[in-house]
Amino acid sequence: MSLPMGRRKALSGMRRFITDICRAAQGVPSVMIERQMSLHDVVAARQLLKPHVQWTSIFAKAFALTSLESPALLLSYVRFPWPHFYEHQTPIVNITIERQHKGEEAVFFAQVRHPNLLPLAEIDQYLRRCKSEPVETIGSFRRGLVMARLPGLLRRLAVWSAFHGSGRWRERYIGTFSVTSTASLGSGPIRVISPMTSTLHYGLFDAQNRLDMRMTFDHRVLDGGTAARALAIMEKHLQGSILNELRSMAATRMAA
């Protein structure tokens, strides 16, 4: 019996855009480190809030606070015009968000500037907007759509330039770190491909409310010891200032 013929299917603009980001990650010597965090009290405080603050919002703020204590996290490796570090003055998080666009699941990037200074409620509200409002109404999503429509050569040049051509462009259009996860779908990525200095990704909580927090980092910028200490500092913030803020939010809502 002969096999049915398959057919070619063109890449959509957004798939080409993601392909170019993967190309920009080529040559980045990425290393992944993992720390099991005990977050029982944080889980309990979050449960008091309805709706719950998203874990992405919580981890983004905690890592932004960590960046201020570990300055190496605010460095980017820039290749042009010669290899050098660019030192950012404030953390900016780039968060991956999946949305339906033109009949397919597409990945967009939401950017939050200085999340260390923002209330968790404000970060969370913005991310919920990014997940529910029309794609064209979100500024960083519109930039992604514009990039996806560029001719191939211009699109690849623009992506490469944003990541490797200028520290200032990287700061403005990309950010200083990223957060990505599929935990809400019941699984978590073990390995990610990223051109960022540091990318947080995580799995699922166990029965004791412990979580495997993973960080993929650019070894040209960070060493293993720096990354390990950063995750320890992040856990301290989760169990300290972040926990206190969640409890304060819960107390305010109960009193209202």
pLDDT digits (tens, 9 = 90+) for 173-225: 999 999 999 988 888 888 898 999 999 999 899 999 999 999 999 999 999 99
- pLDDT, average across residues 219-236: 98
**Confidence (pLDDT) at 256:** 66
Tokens of 50: 């309805």
Close Cβ partners of 86 (under 8 Å, ≥ 6 residues apart):
75, 76, 78, 166, 167, 168, 170, 171
The DSSP 8-state label assigned to residue 2 in this structure reads P
**Confidence (pLDDT) at 40:** 97
User: How far, in whole angstroms, is CA 62 from its chain's centroid?
Assistant: 12
What digits encode the pLDDT tens for the residues 98-149? Answer: 999 988 999 999 999 999 999 999 999 999 999 999 999 999 999 999 999 9
Q: Quick one: 13-255 is in which CATH superfamily?
A: Chloramphenicol acetyltransferase-like domain (3.30.559.10)
Max CA distance (Å), the chain = 72
Close Cβ partners of 99 (under 8 Å, ≥ 6 residues apart):
105, 106, 108, 131, 135, 141
What digits encode the pLDDT tens for the residues 242-251? Answer: 999 999 999 9
Residue 5 has pLDDT above 90, yes or no: no
Average model confidence (pLDDT) across the chain:
94
What digits encode the pLDDT tens for the residues 6-56? Answer: 888 888 889 999 999 998 898 899 999 999 999 999 999 999 998 999 999
Give the Å distances, CA to CA, from 3 to 6, 132, 135, 149. Answer: 9, 42, 40, 36
Percentages (nearest 5) of helix, strand, coil residues in the chain: 50, 20, 30
